[in-house]
Amino acid sequence: MDCLQRLKRFSGPVDNPYFANSFGNMTKPSLTHEQMATKFYSQRNLYLTGAVLYLMLAIGTVTSIVRKLVKKEGEFRDLVAKRAGGDGDEVEKYKKLIQTRETDLKTLKKQVEGLQRQYDGLTKSEIRNKDD
């Protein structure tokens, strides 16, 4: 607030008592070096205050986001742990199912090879194999 009050003094030069030394000549009022330094420091302090307030808001927002992420990560890990413990039976079931499918495929391949040999044996005049 102090910065704003100091800057307000320099906003209206005609009504401002700080410009009394320049009223003698009716030209454009000018600031002394002391007044310019005061104005500069007030502006600097105002900008710094704004930056600090903005950073406080940004840091608060980032902190809340990080807290939510950590909470969700914990919930996710708990969920994965629960599923991993309960899915052991399902994994074994699917492994057995895969093994039975593999044995079925092996027997099917043997049957196809046997049928191919039988078919090739029907025509002895030409030499044929399963690649023809």
User: pLDDT per residue over 40-83, tens digit each?
Assistant: 888 888 888 889 999 999 999 999 999 999 999 998 888 887 77
* Domain limits, the chain: 90-132
Kindly calculate the radius of gyration of the chain based on its CA atoms and give it in whole angstroms.
44
Instruction: Quote the percentage of the chain above a pLDDT of 90.
Output: 31
For residues 7 and 42, the answer to whether their CB atoms sit within 8 Å is: yes
